[in-house]
Structure 1
Amino acid sequence: MDVVQIFQAHDGSALYHLTDQEVRDAHLPCTSLTFIPTDHGQKFEHLLMATYANGVLKFWHPSTGSCLHTIHENRQTLAASFSPHGDVFVTGGAPAQLHMYDAATKKMVRTFEPSPDKTVMDGHMLRVFSVLYHPNAVAYPGVFLSGGWDDTIQFWDSRVKHSVRKIFGPHICGEGLDIDPEHNHVLTGSWRKDSALQVWDFTSTEKIKDIPPDFNSCLVYCCQWLGRSCITAGGSDHNMARIVDRGTLQTTGRLVDLPGGVYCSDNSRHGNVPKVAIGAANMVYIVEKTGG
């Protein structure tokens, strides 16, 4: 979809439609959406960065529908993440280099890629679908993770050109990467039938557990931690989204047979009753907990 839409969470009403002539002419999908962290300063507040499959990055001011700045990357741009303070952001895609930009100037300041040494894998070899900064900027300043088609999660330090360590295994094809800062656990979602959802220790990179599948299989595109006690995940095969209890590893809620694969989801991450937004085909489903 080449139009970015913003909705009211409480009733699903449409607030803003974000597009311009360049987006309409390209007619290629938006691949990621990232609100700029508001603690970076008033001049960046309420801005949204969107990446598109033709390598375009656009900075939208939602309430006016204005595109304030555009960056053109000579590639498919598939993922982006801002640092917790919002001073820099990193993009990933195909080819597999990661590009860091200064958020104020919009200038590229660094490129991250594997070293020429073929005996080590200190970077990505195939396209990157997910990039994520560690949310604890005090303990892990400048640290971010990335994942993609080469079955690795790469750990990056912004001061180093090549990755500093890695996890082998997860096959990331979407927003299938999240970090729980409280327990320092990494959640991965893989587009495959076996071991699709996994939890890893950030410090040791050792696998903690495989999360068993629901009785309907799901090839996972996206997953997130939901508060302290749950996990959300969605994908294709049965076009399903589900919520998993972190302690029992049992499914506590789900949507099945949706009109298309679940390529994206997000949650409020605050409040007593957090909401989860799930995207499938041309629909957005807003889900919240009911009952006890």
Structure 2
Amino acid sequence: MEPVNKETTITNGSEPELYQRTTISGTKSEVFCVKFAPDGHMIATGCGDGSIRIFHSASGRLVYQFAAGDANAFATTSLAFRSPVAGSKTRNVLLSGNAEGYVQHWHVTSGKCLHTIKEEGNEIYAVQYAHDGSKFATAGKDQTIRIYDEATKTRTLELTDGFADVTSGHFNRVFSLCYHPTDPNLLISGGWDNTVQVWDLRADHSVRSIYSPHICGDSVDIDGNTVLTGSWRPENQVQLWDLRTTELERNIAWGNPSSLNGKNTMVYGCSFGGEHGKYIAACGSDGNQCKLFDRNSGEILGSLDLPSASYSCDFAPNGRFVAFAGDTNDIRVCDVVSTLEQRQ
């Protein structure tokens, strides 16, 4: 990776700077979601003009481009790469969801659309594969979580309800989905209704709820028995929760507001990264900051102050790099290791 032109970097001088390796320009539209490929060599972006653009992560070169849905005017809102350990011989499969209700499978290297599902009357805000690639989930405007079999592309389950008086299920839009990394029967979802729901696919309903997080993007993640949430609000944005008890483990203090406008950042995207999820990346709007945290200490390891909102972030599989993308039409790839070395 070549160093970024530092003139494009705006930093908060009171906090350590995130080390930018590459700024990828060329999306021609705001970026609502960004995902590294399983091997880390490509970065996929879902854009406001409906296009899906794939870039080489080291050089920033545009290598593939295709559009989802029947009309490019509907934004591509969510992406998920299928695990390379899936049973199919086809590799480089990308799942997309868009605001017209289309869920599509793409073969990245050929640009072919392999399969299309239309969820009538829905807008898709989240798609996610199970870690073994055997099934995938969708969620969005209609508050329903749908589970599909990857081999047949048939819907196997719809999740809407809670359990007795313990949980309620979702009653507003759902923006984030996350499968448990070791238990394929547990799925986590978060949305506008200030809840994170824990679904047991064997029980067909939500079995636990976390109350308080206001989820407006891909900002729910899980590592072991710890759930990470990023909330679109000016305080208590980044939080860690115990999956088993649904109790708050700790708040990760956001730190200083933006040096550009003095506002606090409201979080749209956050994720665990690195070995054993030892880092947390988060980004958002209003304050328009991107930050990297140490999960255990809560220390801010690096920060960027940007001129407009960031909607999504994702770690490379090896945890060395993290990408941020949003309203500036750029993808900023930051080097986690170099960020830490700069601080020494």
TM-score using structure 2 length: 0.78
1:82 to 118, 129, 133: 129
Q: Is the 8 A contact 2:281 2:291 kept in 1?
A: yes
Change (3 A) 1:42 1:141: closer
Q: Residue in 2 aligned with 1:161? A: 204
How far the C-alpha of 1:11 sits from its partner, in A, is 1.6
Q: Is the 8 A contact 1:122 1:165 kept in 2?
A: no
Higher relative contact order (CA 8 A, sep 6+): 2
Q: Residue in 2 aligned with 1:126? A: 172
Q: Is the 8 A contact 1:91 1:99 kept in 2?
A: yes
Q: Is the 8 A contact 1:225 1:231 kept in 2?
A: yes
Matched, 1:195 2:236: yes
How far the C-alpha of 1:147 sits from its partner, in A, is 0.4
Change (3 A) 1:146 1:116: closer
For 1:48-59, what aligned pairs fall within 5 Å after superposition? 48-59=94-105
Matched, 1:39 2:80: no
- Determine helix, strand or coil for the equivalent of 2:139: strand
1:91 to 112, 125, 138: 138
Matched, 1:275 2:316: no
Q: Residue in 1 aligned with 2:42? A: none
Aligned residues: 281
Query: Counterpart amino acid of 1:158?
Result: L
Q: CA RMSD in A?
A: 1.7
Change (3 A) 1:157 1:44: farther
- Determine helix, strand or coil for the equivalent of 1:248: coil
Give CA-to-partner distance per residue, 1:146-195, whole Å, 9 cap, x none. 000111110101122220111111010001101113xx211100000121
Matched, 1:205 2:246: yes
Matched, 1:5 2:50: no
Matched, 1:64 2:110: yes
Q: Is the 8 A contact 1:114 1:163 kept in 2?
A: yes
Matched, 1:255 2:304: yes
Give CA-to-partner distance per residue, 1:249-285, whole Å, 9 cap, x none. 1211111123x311111111316xx111111221111
- Determine helix, strand or coil for the equivalent of 2:205: coil
Cα distance in structure 2, aligned partners of 1:23 and 1:45: 27
Cα distance in structure 2, aligned partners of 1:159 and 1:30: 31
TM-score using structure 1 length: 0.92
Matched, 1:109 2:156: yes
Query: Counterpart amino acid of 2:223?
Result: D
How far the C-alpha of 1:8 sits from its partner, in A, is 1.1
How far the C-alpha of 1:20 sits from its partner, in A, is 6.0
Cα distance in structure 1, aligned partners of 2:180 and 2:148: 17
